[in-house]
Structure 1
Amino acid sequence: MFPKWASNRIQIVNLRRQKSDCLMFREYFKRDRFIFGVMITLAVLLYGNTIPNGYSLDDTYVAQNNPKVMKGLAGIPEIFTSRYVNEEGNSFGYRPIAVATFAIEHELWGQNPHMGHLINTLLYALTALLLFTALRKVFRNSGWLFPLVIILFFLAHPIHTEAVTSLKNRETLLSFLFGLVALHCFLKWMESKRVSLILAGTFCFIIAFLSKQDVITFAAIIPLALFYRSSEPIRLKWTGSRLFFVLKSPTIFLSLALLSFLVFYFATRRLGAIPTAILYFSTLVFLILYYRKLKKSKEMVPRKKFSWLFLSLGILFFLAAIFFFKARFALLSLITFAVFFTRLPENVKIRKISMPGIWLTLMISLLILSVAGILFYRLPNLYLPAEDKVVYNFENPQFAGDPSYPTLPLAFYTLWFYLTKLLWPHPLGFYYGYKMIPEVSWTTPEVIFSILFHLGILLFALWKLPRKHILSFAILYYLATISIFSNIVIKIPGIVGERLAFFPSLGFSIALAWGIFKLMGISPEAERIPRNKAVGLSFALLLVLIPYSAKTFTRNRDWKDYLTLFSHDIGYLANSAKANNTYANQLMKEAFNNDVKNPEPAVQKKYLDLAVKHLKRTVEIDSTYKFAWNNLGYITYRYLDSREEGIRYMEKAVQIDSNYELAHFNLGNVYKKQKDFKKSINHFREAQRINPGKMLYFAEEADAWFLSGNRENALTIFEKASEIDLSDDLPLINIGNIYWMSGDTLSAVESWVKAFERNPANLNVCNNLLGYFTRKGDEAKAEYYRSRSKVLELQSPNR
Structure 2
Amino acid sequence: MKKILSELINNHFLVGLLLFIFSFFLYSNTLFHQFTLDDVLVLTKNKYVTTADYWAIFSKDTFAGFFTSSESTQLVPGGRYRPLTLAIFATIWPITQAPWFFHLINVLVYATTVLTLFYFLLTLPLKKTIPTSHSSFACLTTLIFAIHPIHTEVVNNIKGLDDILSLLLAILAWKTCHKPIFKNTLYNALTMMFLMLLALLAKESVVVFIPIAVISVWFFNKQSLMKVCITISPMVLALIIYLSLRLSTLSSNIDVTTLPELMNDPFIFWNGDQWLPLPWQEHFATVLHVLLLYLGKILFPMTLSHDYYPYAIDVTNFKTWTVWCSLLVHISLVIYTIHGLSKRQLPAFAIAIYLIALSLFANIFFNIGTLMAERFLFIPSLGFSIAMAWICLYSLNKVKNHLAIYIPLQLFLVMMILLAIFQTLNRAPAWKNNLTLFETDIKTSPNSAKLNNALGGELTKVSQEIPIKNSKSESAYLYRAIDYVKRASQLHPTYAMPHLTQGNALHFLGQHDQAIESYDRAIQLKPNYQEAKENRTKVKAYLTELNKKQEQQDKEQQAIDLSMAGEHEKAIYIFNQLINEVSSSKLLFFRGVAYAQSKKYSQALNDFEAAELLADPNNHQNMVRIWQALVSTYQHLNQNQKAEEYKQKIIALNSK
Q: Deviations over 1:27-63 (max 9, x none)?
A: 7996102211331132022101111111111111222
Kindly provide the CA deviation profile for residues 185-230 of structure 1, in whole angstroms up to 9, marking residues without a partner as x.
1111437362220121111011000000110000101111112221
1:128 maps onto 2:119 in alignment: no
- Shift in alpha-carbon separation, 1:437–1:79, aligned structure 2, 3 A: same
Structure 1 residues 56 and 663 mapped into 2: Cα distance closer, same or farther (>3 Å)?
closer
Unaligned runs of 5+ in 2: 1-5, 74-78, 269-274, 545-580, 582-656
Q: 2:441 aligns with which of 536, 554, 569?
A: 569
- Aligned runs of 1:414-433 on 2, under 5 Å? 414-433=290-309
Aligned residue pairs: how many? 516
Of 380, 385, 394, the residue aligned with 1:518 is 394
2:55 match: 77
Matches within 5 A, 1:589-668: 589-593=461-465, 599=469, 601-636=471-506, 638-642=507-511, 645-667=514-536
CA 1:556 to 1:634, structure 2 compared with 1: closer, same or farther past 3 Å? closer
Aligned to 2:584: none
Per-residue deviation, 1:537: 5.7
Cα deviation for residue 102 of structure 1 reads 1.5
**Distance across 2 between alignment mates of 1:398 and 1:50:** 35
User: What is the CA-CA distance between 1:635 and the residue it aligns to?
Assistant: 2.7
Counterpart position of 1:104: 91
Provide, for residues 310-333 of structure 1, a one-character-per-residue CA deviation record: whole Å limited to 9, x for no partner: xxxxxxxxxxxxxxxxxxxxxxxx
Residue type of the alignment partner of 1:90: S
Alignment of 1:212-361 (within 5 A): 212-230=203-221, 232=222, 357-361=223-227
Residue 420 (structure 1) shift: 0.9
Q: Deviations over 1:265-288 (max 9, x none)?
A: xxxxxxxxxxxxxxxxxxxxxxxx
Cα distance in structure 1, aligned partners of 2:29 and 2:474: 31
Alignment of 1:58-77 (within 5 A): 58-72=38-52, 75-77=53-55
Residue aligning to 2:168? 177
What corresponds to 1:52 in structure 2?
A: 32
Give 3-state SS (helix, strand or coil) of 1:574's partner. coil
1:36 aligns to 2:19 (yes or no): no
1:623/1:413 CA distance change after superposition, 3 Å? same
Distance in 1 of aligned mates of 2:263 and 2:58: 31
CA contact (8 A) 2:500 2:518 kept: yes
The code of the aligned residue for 2:295 comes to L
**Separation of aligned partners in 2, 1:610 and 1:228:** 57
Per the normalisation by structure 1, the TM-score is 0.60
Partner of 1:195: 186
The letter of the residue matching 2:487 is: R
Aligned to 2:457: 585
What is the identity percentage for the equivalent residue pairs of Structure 1 and Structure 2? 27
Q: Given the superposition, is the C-alpha separation of residues 36 and 165 from structure 1 closer, same or farther in structure 2, using an over 3 Å criterion?
A: same
- Return the alpha-carbon distance in structure 1 between the equivalents of residues 154 and 441 of structure 2: 17
| Between 651-660 and 584-593, the greater mean CA deviation after superposition | 651-660
Structure 2: how far apart are the matches of 1:84 and 1:177? 20
What residue number does 2:229 align with? 363
Q: Distance in 1 between matches of 2:197 and 2:330?
A: 31
Matches within 5 A, 1:391-402: 392-398=261-267, 402=277
Q: Which residue of 2 aligns with 1:793?
A: none
Q: Matches of 2:538 and 2:22 in 1, distance apart? A: 56
1:441-485 C-alpha deviation (Å, 9 max, x unpaired): 122222211111001110011011122101110111110000010
Work out the CA distance in 1 between the residues paired with 2:496 and 2:373. Answer: 24
Query: Counterpart in 2 of 1:449?
Result: 325
Amino acid at match of 1:433: Y
Query: Relative to 1, partners in 2 of residues 1:106 and 1:668: Cα closer, same or farther, differing over 3 Å?
Result: closer
Which of 376, 397, 413 matches 2:242? 376
The two structures, once aligned, show a CA RMSD in angstroms of 2.9
The residue correspondences of 1:119-158 to structure 2 (distance < 5 A) are 119-141=105-127, 142=130, 143-158=134-149
Aligned to 1:276: none
Which entry has the higher C-alpha Rg, 1 or 2?
2
- From the superposition, tell whether residues 662 and 27 of structure 1 become closer, same or farther in structure 2 (CA, over 3 Å): closer
Cα distance in 2 between the residues matched to 1:35 and 1:564: 36
**1:546 and 2:389 correspond:** no
**Structure 2: how far apart are the matches of 1:610 and 1:512?**
44
Structure 2 residue matching 1:362: 3-state secondary structure: helix
CA contact under 8 A between 2:460 and 2:504: conserved in structure 1? Answer: no
User: Taking structure 1 as reference, are residues 654 and 62 closer, same or farther at Cα in structure 2, changes over 3 Å only?
Assistant: closer
> Secondary structure, in 3 states, of the residue corresponding to 1:190?
coil
Contact 1:182–1:204 at 8 Å: present in 2 too?
Answer: yes
Greater shift in the superposed pair: 393-402 or 109-118: 393-402
Return the alpha-carbon distance in structure 1 between the equivalents of residues 457 and 162 of structure 2: 26
8 Å CA contact 1:189–1:195 kept in 2: the answer is: no
Measured after TM superposition, the shift of residue 643 of structure 1 is 5.6
CA contact (8 A) 2:181 2:231 kept: no
The one-letter code matched in structure 2 to 1:94 is Y
For the residue of structure 2 that corresponds to 1:85, the secondary structure is coil
Q: Distance in 2 between matches of 1:599 and 1:640?
A: 10
Q: In the superposition, relative to structure 1, how do residues 493 and 474 fare at CA in structure 2: closer, same or farther (>3 Å)?
A: same
CA shift, 1:579, in A, is: 0.5
Q: Is the 8 A contact 2:512 2:543 kept in 1?
A: no
Structure 2 vs 1, CA of residues 511 and 383 (structure 1 numbering), >3 Å: closer, same or farther? closer
| 1:460 matched to 2:446 | no
CA contact (8 A) 1:79 1:99 kept: yes
Residues 187 and 601 of structure 1: CA distance in aligned 2, closer, same or farther (over 3 Å)? same
For residues 449 and 174 of structure 1, what CA distance do their matches in structure 2 show? 35
Distance 1:69 1:664 in 2: 27
Conserved 8 A contact 1:190-1:226: no
Question: Is the 1:68–1:76 contact (alpha carbons within 8 Å) kept by the matching residues of 2?
Answer: yes
Q: Do structure 1's residue 90 and structure 2's residue 76 form an aligned pair?
A: no
Inter-partner Cα distance in structure 1 for 2:108 and 2:503: 46
Pair 430,27 (structure 1): closer, same or farther in 2 beyond 3 Å: closer
1:223-264: CA deviation from partner (whole Å, max 9, x where unpaired) = 11112221x4xxxxxxxxxxxxxxxxxxxxxxxxxxxxxxxx
| 1:116-159 Cα deviation digits (max 9, x unpaired) | 11121111111112112222333521421112111111111100
Sort the Cα spacing of 1:195 and 1:102 in 2 relative to 1 into closer, same or farther, 3 A: same
Given that 2:214 and 2:232 are in contact with CA atoms closer than 8 Å, whether structure 1 keeps it comes out as: yes
The answer to whether the 8 Å contact 1:647/1:667 transfers is yes
SS in 1 for 2:16: helix
Whichever residue aligns with residue 225 of structure 1, its letter is S
Partners of 2:16 and 2:119 within 8 A in 1: no
1:55-75, Cα deviation, whole Å (9 max, x unpaired): 111111222243333345xx3
SS at match of 2:36: coil
Aligned-partner Cα distance in 2 for 1:49–1:577: 30
Deviation per residue, 1:531-579 (Å, 9 max, x gap): 9587456423312111110010121111111111112221222111000
Corresponding residue for 1:211? 202
Question: By how many angstroms is 1:618 displaced?
Answer: 0.7
- String of CA shifts for 1:479-530, please: whole Å, max 9, x gaps: 000001001233233321111110001111122222222332359xxxxx77
